[in-house]
Structure 1
Amino acid sequence: MSSLTQPATAFRHTAADGYSLGGFCWRHAQPNPLRPLVIINAATSVRCRYYARFADYLFAHGCDVLTYDYRGIGESRPPSLRGFQASWSDWGRLDFEAMLAHAAQAFPGQPVDVVGHSFGGCAVGLAPSAGQVRRVVMVGAQFAYWRDYAADQRWRLFGKWHLVMPLLTRAFGYFPGKRLGWMEDTPAGVVHDWTTRTPRYEHRPSGRRLQGVPFAQVRGATLAISLTDDPFGTVAATERLLGYLQGAERQHLRIAPVDISVEKIGHFAFFHDRFRGSLWPIALAWLQQGGLPEEVPGTVIK
């Protein structure tokens, strides 16, 4: 991370079940109870290092920032994933919850905001202490219901993620995504959650074990950003997740590449440095003010 304007500091925090999680922190030298702390929740099986430049941007604009890896991934990976127990719900109710506990200990009194990418948006609502979060920005957030995939790519994605992925997971005891160049290696329980073909999160394997209604505790003002060329984050997928957040103020901003004069953005590129001047200020404005900038690209979905 030497290319960043502000070096990040590695940290570890132990979740309630004793599992040690690793991540990185961008922290200003002088404490300020008014300064927001932003926690970045990664997409499924994407290392937290992927978000380092975006975290550095938030730091440069007055935020303290935490990035971290869910159990089984990156800085939080065990020696072997074969037989390792982890699920989507564990990533939210234990791992993101651990980051909220770390925030309370290390950044006492500071407002806590969250940026959640893909499943990282769902993880917000799975933590018991999610009511502590002041503001949320979700990017491409959904929980992979296959009928919500973009129509022109639905069957290709279904074959890749709902047929090939579970078959390889059964053979290896985890999903060997890294050697395929698809993503990081992934625990079998996460794959089981992802590939279960139900439109309700509480009907996913680990969702059935949750106590209470998932996402109901979220109260923070929430902005969902979806991209028109993201085959996962369609309007249907985004609205399906937002439908759970009945206790939060919600806005859905849909952006097309042409709105910012580029050819493509897709599911991952929002966090690429080339969008520092076009997309990142939208997220920053929401985190700082709880609203959209006056001159915002895209369309607000009513």
Structure 2
Amino acid sequence: MSQFEAMNITCKDGYRLSARFYAAQTKQHEHPVLICPATGITKQFYNSFANWLSEQGYDVLVFDFRGIGDSLHGPLSKSTASIVQWGQLDIPAAIDTLLQKTSAAQVILLGHSAGGQLLGIVPNYEKVAKVVAVSGSTGHVKGLKGRTKILAPLMFKGIFPIARYTLGYGPTHAIGMGENLPKDVAREWAQFCSKPGYVMNAIGKTVHTDFHHEIQAPITALWSSDDEIATRANVKDLLRLYPNASTAMIELKPTEYGHKGIGHMLMFKKSHQNLWPVIKQQLAV
């Protein structure tokens, strides 16, 4: 049975995020785990995995980024949330909340897709002992594969710009890509993936403090060979942004674990729970 404590996280600018805390059933690890979600994915998606991780002796916190799920306050079309705010305000507040809750000195940041791509703009990055980036990459459009390579340019250059003015948000739910997105999240997603380096494309524009070179916490990227977004090229593109960190790449092949596919999203699903020990192994600091 899933057991968690519903919590609120208050960010530096006063914005309130919705979160869940899963207390370790028998605490065995010094560092708690902060799960940072993928773009448009809510905290509920990680419930089974977070509960399992608490059974393995970890304190776990998972939250909704501003503008997503229970962290959306008011109409989506009125949301001013952005990916930059996720990195500069939401993740730092979540780190501090988890440390205060557990009295730990540092957290392990377990980021899914975008959740593992933003540490370079997180001001309290020194409170992160290690990063495990699941399906973590820059998502650069030229590095995409399969159906996504065709869909992404259409979404970024056509659907998002039009929907910004007609709907007031990015309509991703209808095409099976999570919750609909605040318009500035959609705009930045398109901007960041249009060139190599993801959030580096905002440095000097909307981001004026860059910590990528200061980060020395080890970073491990886990991705699947059938992932159309986190391809080998795009995973390498992410890890190169941290020249002073120890980095590692681990590619999972679905057939080796008895699956037809893993892709970008399935690593946290209960149907793929035989992959969870692989993730857990990488959490060791």
Query: Fold conserved (TM > 0.5)?
Result: yes
The equivalent of 2:9 in structure 1 is 13
The answer to whether residue 79 in structure 2 is matched with residue 84 in structure 1 is yes
The equivalent of 2:21 in structure 1 is 25
Task: Determine if contact 2:203/2:209 at 8 Å carries over to the other structure.
Answer: no
What do the CA deviations read for 1:132-178 (whole angstroms, capped 9, x no partner)? 11121111112332111116642233223442233223321112333
The answer to whether residue 110 in structure 2 is matched with residue 115 in structure 1 is yes
63-72 or 117-126, which deviates more: 117-126
Q: 1:13 to 1:124 in 2, by over 3 A?
A: same
The answer to whether residue 268 in structure 2 is matched with residue 271 in structure 1 is yes
The answer to whether residue 149 in structure 2 is matched with residue 154 in structure 1 is yes
Whole-angstrom distance in 2 between the partners of 1:110 and 1:31: 15
Q: 1:206 to 1:82 in 2, by over 3 A?
A: farther
Task: Determine if contact 2:99/2:107 at 8 Å carries over to the other structure.
Answer: no
The equivalent of 1:298 in structure 2 is none
Task: Determine if contact 1:9/1:26 at 8 Å carries over to the other structure.
Answer: yes
**Structure with higher helix content:** 2
The answer to whether residue 213 in structure 2 is matched with residue 224 in structure 1 is no
What do the CA deviations read for 1:168-209 (whole angstroms, capped 9, x no partner)? 233211123335543202111111111122223355357722
Whole-angstrom distance in 2 between the partners of 1:36 and 1:285: 14
Q: 1:281 to 1:153 in 2, by over 3 A?
A: same
Look up the SS of the partner of 1:194 in the other structure.
helix
Look up the SS of the partner of 2:251 in the other structure.
strand
Q: 1:57 to 1:124 in 2, by over 3 A?
A: farther
The equivalent of 2:247 in structure 1 is 250
Look up the SS of the partner of 1:209 in the other structure.
coil
Q: Give the aligned CA root-mean-square deviation in angstroms.
A: 2.1
Structure 1 consecutive aligned stretches of length 4 or more whose deviation exceeds 4 Å = 29-32
Whole-angstrom distance in 1 between the partners of 2:54 and 2:24: 8
Give the partner amino acid of 1:15.
Answer: C
Matches within 5 A, 1:132-171: 132-150=127-145, 153-171=148-166
Query: How far is 1:232 from its partner?
Result: 0.3
Task: Determine if contact 1:133/1:218 at 8 Å carries over to the other structure.
Answer: no
TM-score when normalising by structure 1: 0.86
Whole-angstrom distance in 2 between the partners of 1:130 and 1:209: 19
What do the CA deviations read for 1:198-255 (whole angstroms, capped 9, x no partner)? 2233553577222232533432221101111111000111111100112221110111
Query: How far is 1:30 from its partner?
Result: 7.8
Whole-angstrom distance in 2 between the partners of 1:14 and 1:220: 25
The equivalent of 1:204 in structure 2 is 201
Task: Determine if contact 1:193/1:204 at 8 Å carries over to the other structure.
Answer: no
Whole-angstrom distance in 1 between the partners of 2:214 and 2:268: 27
263-272 or 216-225, which deviates more: 216-225
Whole-angstrom distance in 1 between the partners of 2:263 and 2:175: 20
The equivalent of 1:187 in structure 2 is 182
Matches within 5 A, 1:236-247: 236-247=233-244
Question: In percent, how many aligned pairs have the same letter?
Answer: 26
The answer to whether residue 35 in structure 2 is matched with residue 36 in structure 1 is no
Give the partner amino acid of 1:251.
Answer: A
The answer to whether residue 272 in structure 2 is matched with residue 281 in structure 1 is no
Whole-angstrom distance in 1 between the partners of 2:175 and 2:26: 44
Look up the SS of the partner of 2:78 in the other structure.
coil
Aligned residue pairs, count: 283
The equivalent of 1:299 in structure 2 is none
